[in-house]
A and B are shown apart, each in its own frame.
Chain A
Amino acid sequence: MLLNPAIMALVMVSAVICLMLLLASWFAVRVLSHWDINSGSERQLRLERRTYLISTLLVWAFSFQLMSLLLFIYNAESMSGQFVGAMCATGVLNVNAWGWPTLFLKMGVFFTGAVWLVLNYLDNQGHDYPLIRYKYWLILAILPLVAAELILQLLYFTNMDPAVITSCCGALFSSQSEGVAGEISGLPPAQMMPGFVLLGAAVILSGVWVAKRRQGGWLFALLGGAAFIVALMSVVSFISLYIYEHPHHHCPFCILKSGHDYIGYLLYLPLFAATALALSVGVISPWRKITSLTLAVDRIVPRLSWIAVVFFSLFYLVAAWSVWTSHLTMTGVWW
C-alpha cells in the first residue's frame, strides 16, 4: 500500500517532521547544558542565534503536523473504497491494530505542538528568554511522540492488507458492540446531552472570565480538555444521530462526507482549535509571575482566550444547529 501517493506524502511528512525535531532536540540538549544569558561568550552568542533557526523549524514542523493530521483523516476517508467492509474512515482505521493509535498520536502531537508554539511566542516577548529551559525540555518530550508516530504510521500503512475484511462504522459504533467505541455509542443521550450543554456553558464562561480577569487560566485549560473529550463522546453518542437522521448510526467520520455537507469539518476544526488555545492559555498564564513576562502574559492571555471562546461557541452553535434542524425526533425514546 506504500505506493499510494497520499500515503507516500504522509510518510514523507512524518519523516521530515521527525528529522526537524531531531535537529531541534540535539540543539535543545546543548541549550540545556550551556545556556547562560548573562554570559557574553561566543558560544552563548551562537546559541542565541541558533534559537531563531529552531523556532522557525518547529513552527513549520507543527504546521506540517496539522496538515498531516487533516490529510491522514481525509486519506482514510478516501481509501474506504479499497477495503472490503469499509464504508468510511472507521473501517480503514480498523484494517489493522495500528490505525487508531496513529490517529490518537497525531492528535496528541498536534496539541503539544500548539502549546509549544504559544510558549515559544511568549518566551520571545521576554528580553531574557525566561522560559528557554522549559521550552527545550518540552521539545525533548515531544520527540519520542513524533518518532512513535512515524513508526506506528509506517506499521499501519505497510500492514494494510486489502484482503482483510474490516468492520464498518455501523458495526464498531453500535451500543451492542464491545470495547471503548461501543461503550461510548451506548452512552445514554438523556444524560450526555445535559452534560454536554453544561460543560459547554462552563468552558465558555470560564474563557470569558479568564479574558476579562486574566486569572484562572488553569481552570479554563482543564475545562477545555474536559469539554473536548465530552464533545467527541457526544458526537458519537447523539450529535451524529441527528446529522444522519438515523437512530442507530453513531459514526464520527461519516459526517465528514459530502453527503452531509461536510458539516464534520465545521464541528471538528473549531473544536480542535479552541481546545489547543485553551490548553495554551492554561500553560502560559502561570508565567505572569515572571517580571519580564507579566506584560506579555497580560496581553496574550485575553487575546487567546477570546479566540478560544469564539471557536468553542462556533462548535456549540454548529452542534446545536445540526440537532435543531434535524428531522430526527427522539422524544419518547430517550426521555
Chain B
Amino acid sequence: MLLFLRKQKYLIDYTLSSLLRRKGKSLGLLAVYTTIVFMLASVTLFTHALRKEAGLMLQASPEIIVQRMQAGRHAMIPADYLQRIGRLRGVMQKAGRLWGYYYDPIVKANYTIMTEGQSDTPLTEIVIGTGIARVQGLDVGDYLTLRSQSGEAFSFQISALLENDSELVSADLLLMSPKAFRRLFSIPEGFYTDLVLSVRNPREVNKVAEKLSQLLPDTRPILRDEVLRTYESVFSWRQGILFVLLLGSVLAFVIFAWDKASGLSAEERREIGILKAVGWETADVMRMKFWEGMVISLTAFLIGYLAAYGHVFFASASLFEPVLKGWSVLYPQFRLTPYVDGLQLATLFFFSVLPYIVATIIPIWRTSIADPDAVMR
C-alpha cells in the first residue's frame, strides 16, 4: 500500500514538473477550463441561492390564499365571504388582505402597495422600500405624491424605510393604512383583494382547499406548497435553459481538450519515447497522463468554483442577473446568502470534469502506446 502511494507521489511530482516545463500550453488549457467551470458554477450557485431565498421567504406566508374569479379574471372579494366560509375545521385564522400595484410614470416603475396596521394608522403616513427611495431620492420625512383613481393627488409623508436585508421582496414595496388604500384606489368598504387562511396541519391543507372550492364556487384557493413547487420548477427550468445554452461551449471545450491532448509537440513525443526507453510501461505513461488530467481538472474546478462564488455572492452575479431574476426597473440590490449544495456540486462536476476526462482518454492512450524507437528517431 505504502509502495503504491509512494509511486503515485512520484508520478504526481513528475507530472507537475512536466506541466511547469510547458507553461504556455498548460496555462492556456487551464484558462479555458476555468472559464467553463466559472460560467456553469455561477449559474448553479445563483439559481440555487435564489431558490433557497424564495423558499425561506414563503415559509412565513399563509398556507392558503383565496382569490375571487370573475370571467376568468381576478376580482375583488366581498368581506362577507369570510362569514360564508364560517368555521372550517383546521383553519386557525382567516383575514382579508388589501394590496395592489401602482404604476409611477415618472420613474416608469411599478410599486407594490400593501396595507398595514389597523384603521387608526395615520392616513398620510407611508413606509417605503429602499428601491423606491433610491430611484426617487427620498428619505424619512420627505413627501411622496401618488395620483388616485379619481385623478386627485395624495401626498404621503414617509415615516420609515423598510430594512435592507429583505430587499429582495421589499425593494418596490410601499406600505400604507387600509383607509388610505381604499381612498387611493376607490375600493368600497366591504371588499378585499383576497383572503388568507392559515392552516396548522400541513396534511389538512388539501382538504380545506377542497371544502373552500365547494363552499365558494367562484373562488380559487392557492396553496403555499403549490407556489413553492412552481418556484422550484421555474428556477431549475431557467437553470436548465442556461445550461443548454452553455452546452455549446462545453462541447467546444471538449474538442479543444481532445485537440490539446492529441496534438503533442515533437518535444513531448520525445519525452515519452525516453520514458519508455528507460523502462516505463504503457500503463505507467497512462497513469502519469491521468495525474496530469487530475491536476489540471482539480485546479480548474477549484479556481472556477471560487471565482463563481465571489461573482455570485459578492458581485451579485452581475453577468447573469437579468436572465435569472427577471426584468424590472426597481432592481433590488441584495446579497444572497451563500449556500453550497452537494447535488449542485456533483452536477457541475458531471458537466465540466467528466467531458474533459472522456475527451482525453483516447488521445492519452494513443500517446502512451507509441514505440520509443519510432518517436525518438
Which residues does A use to contact B, with CB under 8 Å?
Answer: 2-6, 8-10, 12-13, 16, 20, 49, 52-53, 56-57, 60, 64, 67, 70-71, 74-75, 78, 81-84, 162
Query: Is B362 an interface residue, CB under 8 A from the partner?
Result: yes
The CA-CA distance from A16 to B358 in the complex, in Å, is: 8
Q: Which residues of A lie under 8 Å from residue B344 when comparing CB positions?
A: 5
Query: Is B286 an interface residue, CB under 8 A from the partner?
Result: yes
The CA-CA distance from A64 to B353 in the complex, in Å, is: 11
Using A52-B283, A52-B369 as known contacts, say yes or no to A78 and B343 having CB atoms under 8 A apart.
yes
Query: Is B236 an interface residue, CB under 8 A from the partner?
Result: yes
Q: Do B347 and A6 have beta carbons less than 8 Å apart?
A: yes
Query: Is B44 an interface residue, CB under 8 A from the partner?
Result: yes
Q: Which residues of B lie under 8 Å from residue A83 when comparing CB positions?
A: 229
The CA-CA distance from A49 to B281 in the complex, in Å, is: 12
Q: Do B357 and A162 have beta carbons less than 8 Å apart?
A: no
Q: Kindly list 13 other residue pairs between chains A and B, CB separation below 8 angstroms, not including A52-B286, A53-B362, A162-B233.
A: A3-B236, A5-B347, A8-B243, A12-B351, A56-B286, A57-B361, A60-B358, A70-B346, A74-B342, A74-B346, A81-B229, A82-B233, A83-B229
Q: Do A81 and B346 have beta carbons less than 8 Å apart?
A: no
B1 and chain A: residue at smallest CB distance: A303
Q: Which residues of A lie under 8 Å from residue B368 when comparing CB positions?
A: 52
B237 and chain A: residue at smallest CB distance: A3
Q: Which residues of A lie under 8 Å from residue B243 when comparing CB positions?
A: 5, 8
Q: Do A56 and B361 have beta carbons less than 8 Å apart?
A: yes
Task: Please pick, from B240, B357, B369, the residue contacting A5 in the complex, using a CB distance under 8 A.
Answer: B240
Query: Is B244 an interface residue, CB under 8 A from the partner?
Result: yes
Q: Do B365 and A71 have beta carbons less than 8 Å apart?
A: no
B377 to chain A, nearest CB (A): 19
Q: Do B365 and A75 have beta carbons less than 8 Å apart?
A: no
Q: Do A53 and B233 have beta carbons less than 8 Å apart?
A: no
Using A4-B236, A81-B232 as known contacts, say yes or no to A71 and B346 having CB atoms under 8 A apart.
yes
Q: Do A9 and B232 have beta carbons less than 8 Å apart?
A: no
The CA-CA distance from A64 to B351 in the complex, in Å, is: 12
The CA-CA distance from A286 to B243 in the complex, in Å, is: 49
Residue interface mask B232-259, A partner, CB < 8 A = 1: 1100110111011000000000000000
The CA-CA distance from A213 to B343 in the complex, in Å, is: 43
Q: Which residues of A lie under 8 Å from residue B342 when comparing CB positions?
A: 74
A263 to chain B, nearest CB (A): 16
Main secondary structure of the interface of A (DSSP, over half): helix
Query: Is B101 an interface residue, CB under 8 A from the partner?
Result: no
B233 and chain A: residue at smallest CB distance: A82
Task: Please pick, from A8, A53, A74, the residue contacting B343 in the complex, using a CB distance under 8 A.
Answer: A74
The CA-CA distance from A239 to B305 in the complex, in Å, is: 39
B253 to chain A, nearest CB (A): 14
Q: Which residues of B lie under 8 Å from residue A5 when comparing CB positions?
A: 44, 236, 239-240, 243, 344, 347, 351
Q: Do A81 and B240 have beta carbons less than 8 Å apart?
A: no
* A-B CB proximity, top 4 nearest: A3-B240, A9-B350, A53-B365, A9-B347
The CA-CA distance from A5 to B351 in the complex, in Å, is: 9
The CA-CA distance from A78 to B233 in the complex, in Å, is: 12
The CA-CA distance from A49 to B283 in the complex, in Å, is: 11
The CA-CA distance from A101 to B377 in the complex, in Å, is: 56
The CA-CA distance from A8 to B243 in the complex, in Å, is: 9
Q: Do A64 and B354 have beta carbons less than 8 Å apart?
A: yes
A165 to chain B, nearest CB (A): 9
Query: Is B282 an interface residue, CB under 8 A from the partner?
Result: yes
The CA-CA distance from A8 to B361 in the complex, in Å, is: 22
A13 and chain B: residue at smallest CB distance: B350
Q: Do B346 and A67 have beta carbons less than 8 Å apart?
A: yes
A16 and chain B: residue at smallest CB distance: B358
Query: Is B228 an interface residue, CB under 8 A from the partner?
Result: yes
Q: Do A52 and B282 have beta carbons less than 8 Å apart?
A: yes
B288 to chain A, nearest CB (A): 13
B305-360 interface with A by 8 A CB criterion: 342-344, 346-347, 349-351, 354, 357-358
The CA-CA distance from A81 to B240 in the complex, in Å, is: 17
Q: Do A82 and B232 have beta carbons less than 8 Å apart?
A: yes
Q: Which residues of B lie under 8 Å from residue A74 when comparing CB positions?
A: 342-343, 346
Q: Which residues of A lie under 8 Å from residue B362 when comparing CB positions?
A: 53
21 A-B contacts (beta carbon < 8 Å): A4-B240, A5-B44, A5-B344, A6-B343, A6-B347, A9-B346, A9-B351, A20-B358, A49-B282, A52-B365, A52-B368, A53-B362, A53-B365, A56-B361, A57-B361, A71-B346, A74-B343, A81-B229, A82-B229, A82-B233, A84-B229
Q: Which residues of B lie under 8 Å from residue A78 when comparing CB positions?
A: 343
Q: Which residues of A lie under 8 Å from residue B228 when comparing CB positions?
A: 81
Q: Do A75 and B343 have beta carbons less than 8 Å apart?
A: yes
The CA-CA distance from A1 to B344 in the complex, in Å, is: 17
Q: Which residues of B lie under 8 Å from residue A13 when comparing CB positions?
A: 350, 354
Q: Which residues of A lie under 8 Å from residue B232 when comparing CB positions?
A: 81-82
Q: Do A60 and B240 have beta carbons less than 8 Å apart?
A: no
A314 to chain B, nearest CB (A): 19
Using A3-B237, A8-B243, A16-B358 as known contacts, say yes or no to A56 and B347 having CB atoms under 8 A apart.
no
B364 and chain A: residue at smallest CB distance: A56
The CA-CA distance from A16 to B354 in the complex, in Å, is: 9
The CA-CA distance from A308 to B368 in the complex, in Å, is: 34
Q: Do A4 and B350 have beta carbons less than 8 Å apart?
A: no
A71 and chain B: residue at smallest CB distance: B346
B356 to chain A, nearest CB (A): 11
The CA-CA distance from A56 to B364 in the complex, in Å, is: 10
Q: Which residues of B lie under 8 Å from residue A8 when comparing CB positions?
A: 240, 243-244
B40 and chain A: residue at smallest CB distance: A5
The CA-CA distance from A56 to B286 in the complex, in Å, is: 9
The CA-CA distance from A82 to B225 in the complex, in Å, is: 9
B365 and chain A: residue at smallest CB distance: A53
A233 to chain B, nearest CB (A): 28
A57 and chain B: residue at smallest CB distance: B361
Of A12, A56, A64, chain B has the most CB atoms within 10 Å of the CB of A56
B202-242 interface with A by 8 A CB criterion: 225, 228-229, 232-233, 236-237, 239-241
The CA-CA distance from A20 to B228 in the complex, in Å, is: 40
A85 and chain B: residue at smallest CB distance: B206
Q: Which residues of B lie under 8 Å from residue A10 when comparing CB positions?
A: 350
